[in-house]
Amino acid sequence: MLLGPPMRCWLLFLLFTLFRATVVAGNVTIQSTAPEIVYSPPACNATASTCQSAWQIVPSLDDPDVLVTTTSGPTNGSAALVPQLFLTFTGTTLYIRTSSASTAVTNVSLATQYPDFAITSRVDTATANGLITVVGLPSDRATTLTMTYVASEAETRLEISNITIVTTSNASPFSSSPLPSSTTIPTFSPAISPAMTAYTSKQTRDDIVAEVLGAILGVVLCLFVVAGLVFWRKRRKTMAAPRTLGY
């Protein structure tokens, strides 16, 4: 079948769009000690005598071969900072697994930007059966998870085992974009729970306009590339022509 370059361009564009719509979903599980997770104050190896941080890396009581990250609240050794963890990822569903030693209450926040959207919920890890689930996250932009230790009257412990992210693409869920500063995360009415919670993130009119513009720009760019190639080939021919005549 013979097709002109503009037609091929369209076909490529269509194939690319189809490919994007049918990519398979995948699960990515990271351990609590993974470098993608940022701890404040930074976590340290509990066996080291210099480890005074509020976050410590210890073998799990459930499985001694597995390392978990644990905190029982602010310590003097790390300037009484409230223990927090941050993770920026792109995915639709998030599973946070805590160990059986975990009894603390934690504030779980999820935030996205452009448009700004945030949701916060208090979760009691003692009654959450070791699993905190967040569903309905946007698959087209990064989400930042913030978990904050909430002190209670009794001594409690927050112990993170691992985190699973369900993605809709084969790409790594961890973008290279930097963490937004945690202090500017806007808060919304709480709706997360240990059970399944859905929240809808509205697509604004600007988003739709941007998407349509993006698609049009893609086609226009594609056509420009083809036109450029044709022009370049013609020019090369006309430039090569005098040389074949010889001097």
Q: How does DSSP classify residue 103?
A: -
DSSP letters of 23-54?
PPPEEEEEETT-TTSEEESPPEETTSTT---S
The residue (of 113 and 164) whose beta carbon lies closer to ligand NAG is 164
The residue (of 88 and 120) whose beta carbon lies closer to ligand NAG is 120
The residue (of 81 and 223) whose beta carbon lies closer to ligand NAG is 81
User: Cα(first)–Cα(last) distance of the chain, in Å?
Assistant: 43
57 neighbors 46 (Cβ within 8 angstroms): yes
DSSP strands (E only) in the chain: 26-31, 38-40, 44-45, 56-59, 67-71, 84-89, 93-98, 105-112, 117-124, 131-134, 143-150, 158-167
Q: Is 27 in the site for ligand NAG (CB under 6 A)?
A: yes
Choose which of 92, 164, 193, 201 interacts with ligand NAG (CB under 6 A): 164
Q: How does DSSP classify residue 135?
A: B
Q: Is 155 in the site for ligand NAG (CB under 6 A)?
A: no
The residue (of 98 and 222) whose beta carbon lies closer to ligand NAG is 98
Choose which of 40, 56, 99, 168 interacts with ligand NAG (CB under 6 A): 99
Span interacting with ligand NAG, options 15-23, 159-167, 194-202, 228-236, rule CB under 6 A: 159-167
* Footprint of ligand NAG (CB under 6 A): 25, 27, 29, 45, 47, 57, 62, 67, 76, 82, 95, 97, 99, 107, 120, 122, 130, 148, 150, 161-162, 164, 166, 190
